[in-house]
Amino acid sequence: MRLDDVDWAAKPWKAVSDDDLGAALAVPSMLTMDEARLYYWLAAQAEGFGAVIDLGTHRGGSAARLLAGLAAGSSQAPLYTYDRFATPEVRSDMLTQVQTALAPWGARATCVKGDIARQTWSGGAVEVLSVDAAKSPTTADRIAEEFFPALEPFRSVLIQQDFLHAKQPWLPVQMAALADCFQLVARAGNVCAVFIPTAKVTSDHLKAARTEGLTDKALLARLDEAAHRFSPALPAQRFADQRAMVLANPGVRDAWRMKR
Ligand SMILES: C[S@@+](CC[C@H](N)C(=O)[O-])C[C@H]1O[C@@H](n2cnc3c(N)ncnc32)[C@H](O)[C@@H]1O
């Protein structure tokens, strides 16, 4: 990705128009428009040295926004989108629905169905990785173990879609522990954060960044460290909300089961 002279503070993706996004906007998504533009813009910058991966696509929205960006850029990279493609609300065949929704971008997209925590990645370098499925520490750890080592320093980009979401406090903890490997460069929407890898992620880094099995006390202590590390770039209130969510849900490590 051509990242040398990006003025992240200026949010260059703001220039992406609804017309640019085109057919992607017809695919349902939980992303805000700021995030939609960011996904498109990052994919459009891709050089093509590695795959574009969307972890947690739900009804296809994030993948569609990435695909529209890829179509506008020069990369021939494939896109892989992973999901269970089954939720309690949508009982019909979500996989077929998503494949149909992504059909305007041809054969470029591959949908991989199943638990992401059980997936393996052996497809080489990853240029763009969007993470919107790290809804438990176990899955966050597995995503890091499997996909982060494929990111190329200063050439790839990592989107942590729910980084500041109150119900995913393990994400700042994980990324603070990986501070030797990633630099926070931007945020978008309400809770999304963008990181550039600055070093290859090794098994030692991953071991230090594991979030599974932390007690509430340890999680809160590491969250406080993360809040400090990401200050003032990220608002303290978001970390306070994550802290309050842990306190209100002792021992709960599943975003969907956390209650305010
Ligand atoms: C917030 S939604 C993603 C929204 C999507 N990125 C968009 O643009 O609208 C999270 C998705 O992650 C998926 N997911 C969460 N944990 C998963 C897991 N362990 N394996 C596979 N999919 C998972 C869910 O099925 C859900 O579709």
Candidate from 98, 112, 116 with most ligand 1 atoms within 8 A of CB, to mutate: 116
What pLDDT is recorded for position 2? 77
Residue 2 lies in a domain: no
What pLDDT is recorded for position 1? 85
How far does residue 243's CA lie from ligand 1's centre (Å)? 23
How far does residue 118's CA lie from ligand 1's centre (Å)? 14
What pLDDT is recorded for position 91? 66
Enclosing domain of residue 108 = 8-257
Residue 39 lies in a domain: yes
What pLDDT is recorded for position 87? 76
Statement: residue 260 has pLDDT above 90: no
Where residue 49 sits, what CATH number does that domain have? Answer: 3.40.50.150
What pLDDT is recorded for position 90? 67
What pLDDT is recorded for position 88? 72
Structural domain count, the chain: 1
> Per-residue pLDDT tens for 241-253?
999 999 999 999 9
How far does residue 111's CA lie from ligand 1's centre (Å)? 13
Mean pLDDT for 183-200 is 97
Instruction: List the strands of the sheet with 79-83, edge to edge.
Output: 109-113, 79-83, 51-55, 126-131, 157-160, 192-197, 182-188
> Per-residue pLDDT tens for 12-65?
999 999 999 999 999 999 999 999 999 999 999 999 999 999 999 999 999 999
Index of the ligand 1 atom closest to the CA of residue 56: 12
How far does residue 86's CA lie from ligand 1's centre (Å)? 9
How far does residue 4's CA lie from ligand 1's centre (Å)? 31
Residue 201 lies in a domain: yes
Residue 3 lies in a domain: no
> Per-residue pLDDT tens for 111-132?
999 999 999 999 999 999 999 9
Is 227 or 3 the better-scoring residue by pLDDT? 227
Mean pLDDT for 81-102 is 88
Candidate from 53, 58, 82, 120 with most ligand 1 atoms within 8 A of CB, to mutate: 58
**Mean residue pLDDT across the chain:** 96
How far does residue 82's CA lie from ligand 1's centre (Å)? 8
Residue nearest to atom 12 of ligand 1 (CA): 56
Q: Given pLDDT bands bounded at 50, 70 and 90, which one contains residue 192?
A: very high
Residue 130 lies in a domain: yes
Pocket-forming residues, ligand 1, beta carbon under 6 Å: 29-31, 56-58, 61-62, 83-84, 87, 115-117, 132-133, 135, 139
